[in-house]
Amino acid sequence: MNSVHMVADRNDTKARLLTEARDLYVEEGPASFSLREVARRAGVSAAAVYRHYDGKEALFEQVCLAGLQVFYGYLVRALEEATPHERLVGSATQYLRFGLENPRDYRVLFMGAGPAHKHPPGKGKKPDATFQFLIDRVQECMNAGILHEDDPHEVATVIWAHVHGLVSLRLAGQLAHVGTDTQFAKLYHRSTERLVEGLSG
């Protein structure tokens, strides 16, 4: 086997391990999260897992990082919008799309022991790139006079709490009465627009 095939095989194994680790965490919870079970699901030996990751904490960290990369890929699409207001609302739209299209990644990141739970975006800490993205959208809306001048970090936290609450309730089955995902999206967008309007002072 040449070096190109070996690298491809290693990358394929790593990707499979990340997927199985994410699914195991979502299906069974942190108490049942083990390298041995991830290896069994991925069809490799436990020793093979250790060739890629030092332990289950390192593996789970990579699961979270992979999910954040996908999430950020959604958020940056909001930058295609023409105005600060549209980019802010577009960020909320992409948050919803990420949650509905990638529910397992969303659950790991925002409904379990992922980075949003272990490292909440407090003022004393540097926000991760995804939360900084929201802060930047808020700041540009304030600069444009669309939002009332305030602490952009605090306003971003309010917006995040709002969209996170709606998406998390939807994924948890608590908003099934709203109807289809399309109907829920309409409610979500109306609610988000009301929030932004209220923050405009």
Query: What are 154-196's pLDDT values in tens digits?
Result: 999 999 999 999 999 999 999 999 999 999 999 999 999 999 9
Q: Crossing angle, helix 56-75 and helix 35-42, to 10 degrees?
A: 60
pLDDT at 51 over 90: no
**What pLDDT shows up at residue 119?**
45
Instruction: Give me the mean pLDDT over the 77-106 stretch.
Output: 97
Q: Work out the mean pLDDT of the chain and round it to a whole number.
A: 89
**What pLDDT shows up at residue 10?**
64
For 145: left if phi > 0, alpha if psi spans -120 to 50, otherwise beta; the answer is: left
Helices (H), the chain: 3-28, 35-42, 46-50, 56-75, 84-101, 103-110, 115-118, 129-143, 152-171, 181-199
Domains of the chain in sequence order: 3-53 (1.10.10.60), 66-199 (1.10.357.10)
pLDDT tens, 113-122?
Answer: 565 544 445 5
Q: Apex CA 134: angle with CA 182 and CA 191, to 5°?
A: 35
Select the more confidently predicted residue: 134 or 10. Answer: 134
pLDDT at 145 over 50: yes
pLDDT at 124 over 60: no
Distance CA 82, CA 97 (A): 19
Residue 3 has a CB neighbour count (10 Å cut-off) of: 7
**What pLDDT shows up at residue 157?**
96
**What pLDDT shows up at residue 182?**
96
- Sequence-ordered list of residues with C-beta below 8 angstroms from that of 65, at least 6 positions apart, any chain: none
pLDDT at 43 over 80: yes
pLDDT at 16 over 80: yes
Distance CA 185, CA 35 (A): 37
